[in-house]
Structure 1
């Protein structure tokens, strides 16, 4: 027996395959993966026996690594093991966390953030995997849950010390469920005869006071550079969680969710004007955190409402994907009713007829619509496909000048289906301008909420602005169905020469792509599943 600096006793023995030392920090753990030859070994008394071999880990440049430590609810823990899964949308990790009090848990990836969860007993039978559908209600272990996602996944690699043997032989169904109590749970059907059940809560790395995280260096980033399969330009992947990246030269969307080998799936898209907030910009904003934080723009998406009726008004909107190293991701949404921010929430709201209640706030349902991706730039932590569609429902709550908002978004089909709830608040255009230190001449291009009821009939300026807005809407309607030869002078005078509206109009007149820009909706993209 060997002792380390933690309160736990450590058992160390030679790998039966290569002779390298294999360490067990917990008496409850019986399995480990040799870090040298990747053999999976089981501890039997004072000896180790080889069970098989684990594949190489996909290098996703996660900030987490074995040996990293943190604190959760007053208890210290160390990451001692890792499971890496693959599904149709990419890969995700689950890290085995050993607590100093002897408890074993998991730190899992969730919607661009993380979840700390613990295995829990199942005193009763659980639903068959084939019967689960996103949005369905389930009672499991005496508690009410809502199914958030159902995916077919496969364990592709393992590392370190594990509480049970890794099975990389076949795929299985994994379902994430969420509750009105703010919890997230997982049903893991890797063992069809005895599904595993775990329950946890969402956290940010900053809440865990993590130490020993992997350093992100220029050398590390350069090692993940890939060549654009469309034009050959060098693409540098900067984020650990990137699943899709857009070529800066030809604007092709490249899928890197399955690794960065020679055959990279991609699709081409026509270029349009640059976003009003350039990629790489850093803005200091308070997005649900105690203090304002610096958020960097890493992605930009334009979306358009589809399947609208003959009497319905079509809407268009833009979303900026924001990143903070310890807080994760957030979205800045630019729609025709103003600016807002939103982040995925862990639980689900409580239904109240057509409305919902969340954190003591009643949210009124506004509308349900289908959105379609029309143009993207930058890096994204989900896999983007051509003309990707989502079904959204928007809700509005209280909050005065900073009205609270919720969005329900349903995506996917086949092997991966999910529902993600996001919450946030409205922002003023002036707040956005100041946060990102944009030049004063951009102020007009950022203004939204131009409606007739917002202006006095006696104001000539208000009337001009309103009719300019009408022109914008008409141009956007033509834009969604194809290029128009409309005169762009009205857009230039209303929003400015640097605005996306004006630049897109110029592009349309030249036979552009038909990208959508402004809009009447809000809400962020889903991440590709609960622990993904």
Structure 2
């Protein structure tokens, strides 16, 4: 361990990691350069914003049989939100990063490679690329700005420092290409994890979080919209972006004081089946509806999506369409492309639909910035009753898995809320099994055969050819129309 004196206030600044280049003085926020011969002053480093994360400097845990301690932190912000990167010192002296974004966590470690990946400006979400000798799918391409730091860090960070990063995926594995220092990028390899799987120690409890942030993390709170004064419920530390249900103002709840990002227009209230704030009891967990979003495809078909949050279960989506309800969750392990299908855990899913989805209404709290007019490209893949859905924007691609949810089950979760809701009218089987035209053609062929029964008996040889040709003229176009429908 190396101990230096802060050039600004004289306090001790300790370096535990040999890879750390600088540290932030915990007393005066000065960035201290690690140079025993000549202590460098890198200027003041901004405080992190409202600190709702349960992780803190000194938190310890275990990953892949390796013990680690949190020794530093960066807070990074981009257009749609922000996240924390915690700098880890492993017991063997190596270092890594623990990504912390809206309750989802990843661990990555340095992966030296002589290979030069694609330049940052050429990467697009959904691209197949080769990096570190393997094939990956580009999941996220971002330029983020550092808004605060703590503890030890492996590179110089100052006012206005930007991170240019691309996240790649392969099933449950993760690869980060960091272009912040130019080309070629630094490469970090890792996986998605849960906080519980790390067996963490010295986490902050609710009271400690409340003392620094003023509110409890992940427990529904209310604030007054600064644009119209209406009350808004949200989750401190989990949902940084809000849409006022009354005036549609977009609010940034990650700032010390909630700021209005864009004044909303007065709109007529949109009635939804599940209201904001509705609470569900799912097993022994309580979920709360914190956000409501309505979307439409390019043909005008609309559906409603409800964002639910539970302190232990995290985020869950309920999707309401004309055909019924579905429960959907984000996927940490992604499927692999196989032409027009995808493969997940050796199970194939066939491509069902591809369409653009545009936000037509939004209200409540979300863990990313959402606005009316936002559009994503959607692909759906199906296996039995289970669907995998990919949503792509200019900056990222996400995958989710959904299954049908019976209305009776939903009513049991929300007692009293859905008592007057009726199940959707089901389409006849002939219209939903992918063979409706063939069914109609078979019916007409049978009718034609019955009408020609007498001519067939009188002159079989002269009539059968015309009957067969008429049947084919009905059935072959029906096959084409059914195949067109399925596509």
TM category, shorter: 0.7 to 0.9
Equivalent residue in structure 1 for 2:143, among 135, 152, 166: 152
Kept after mapping to 2: 8 A contact 1:178/1:346: no
Residues 162, 25 of structure 1: alpha-carbon distance in 2 compared, 3 angstrom cutoff: same
Query: Could you tell me which residue of structure 2 aligns to residue 530 of structure 1?
Result: none
Give the deviation of 1:229 after TM superposition: 3.5
Of the two, which has the highest radius of gyration?
2
Using the size of structure 1 for normalisation, the TM-score is 0.72
- What is the DSSP-based 3-state SS (H/G/I as helix, E as strand, rest coil) of the residue aligned with 1:271? coil
Query: Could you tell me which residue of structure 1 aligns to residue 84 of structure 2?
Result: 93
Equivalent residue in structure 1 for 2:386, among 400, 404, 408: 404
Superposition pairs of residues 324-403 of structure 1, within 5 angstroms = 324-398=310-384, 403=385
Superposition pairs of residues 421-440 of structure 1, within 5 angstroms = 421-436=399-414, 438-439=415-416
Query: Could you tell me which residue of structure 1 aligns to residue 454 of structure 2?
Result: none
Residues 336, 303 of structure 1: alpha-carbon distance in 2 compared, 3 angstrom cutoff: same
Query: Could you tell me which residue of structure 2 aligns to residue 299 of structure 1?
Result: 291
Q: Identify which of structures 1 and 2 has the higher relative contact order when contacts are C-alpha pairs closer than 8 Å and 6+ apart.
A: 1
Superposition pairs of residues 165-180 of structure 1, within 5 angstroms = 165-179=156-170
Distance 1:133 1:278 in 2: 35
Distance 1:454 1:80 in 2: 63
Distance 2:37 2:228 in 1: 57
Superposition pairs of residues 6-405 of structure 1, within 5 angstroms = 10-45=1-36, 48-110=39-101, 112-179=103-170, 181-216=171-206, 220-221=213-214, 227-233=224-230, 235=232, 237-247=234-244, 249-256=246-253, 260=257, 264-268=261-265, 269-276=267-274, 278-284=276-282, 293-305=285-297, 307-308=298-299, 314-398=300-384, 403-405=385-387
Kept after mapping to 2: 8 A contact 1:124/1:141: yes
Kept after mapping to 2: 8 A contact 1:81/1:162: yes
- Deviation sequence 1:408-438 (CA, Å, 0-9, x none): 1012x4xxx11111123222222222233x1
Give the deviation of 1:160 after TM superposition: 0.7
Distance 2:37 2:166 in 1: 37
Give the deviation of 1:208 after TM superposition: 2.4
- What is the DSSP-based 3-state SS (H/G/I as helix, E as strand, rest coil) of the residue aligned with 1:445? coil
Gaps of 5+ in 1: 1-9, 286-291, 309-313, 456-532
Residues 432, 100 of structure 1: alpha-carbon distance in 2 compared, 3 angstrom cutoff: farther
Give the deviation of 1:117 after TM superposition: 1.3
Distance 1:27 1:81 in 2: 13
- What is the DSSP-based 3-state SS (H/G/I as helix, E as strand, rest coil) of the residue aligned with 1:434? helix
Distance 2:241 2:389 in 1: 23
Query: Could you tell me which residue of structure 2 aligns to residue 485 of structure 1?
Result: none
- Deviation sequence 1:465-490 (CA, Å, 0-9, x none): xxxxxxxxxxxxxxxxxxxxxxxxxx
- What is the DSSP-based 3-state SS (H/G/I as helix, E as strand, rest coil) of the residue aligned with 1:130? helix
Residues 340, 263 of structure 1: alpha-carbon distance in 2 compared, 3 angstrom cutoff: closer
Kept after mapping to 2: 8 A contact 1:222/1:236: no
Kept after mapping to 2: 8 A contact 1:251/1:270: no
Kept after mapping to 2: 8 A contact 1:229/1:266: no
2:418 aligned with 1:442: yes
Kept after mapping to 2: 8 A contact 1:89/1:383: yes
Give the deviation of 1:95 after TM superposition: 0.8
Residues 60, 270 of structure 1: alpha-carbon distance in 2 compared, 3 angstrom cutoff: farther
Kept after mapping to 2: 8 A contact 1:300/1:376: yes
Residues 153, 397 of structure 1: alpha-carbon distance in 2 compared, 3 angstrom cutoff: same
Distance 2:243 2:392 in 1: 24
Gaps of 5+ in 2: 432-487
Distance 2:194 2:113 in 1: 28
- What is the DSSP-based 3-state SS (H/G/I as helix, E as strand, rest coil) of the residue aligned with 1:431? helix
Give the alignment's Cα RMSD to 1 decimal.
2.9
Distance 2:362 2:428 in 1: 32
Query: Could you tell me which residue of structure 2 aligns to residue 452 of structure 1?
Result: 428
Distance 1:449 1:35 in 2: 63
Give the deviation of 1:159 after TM superposition: 0.9
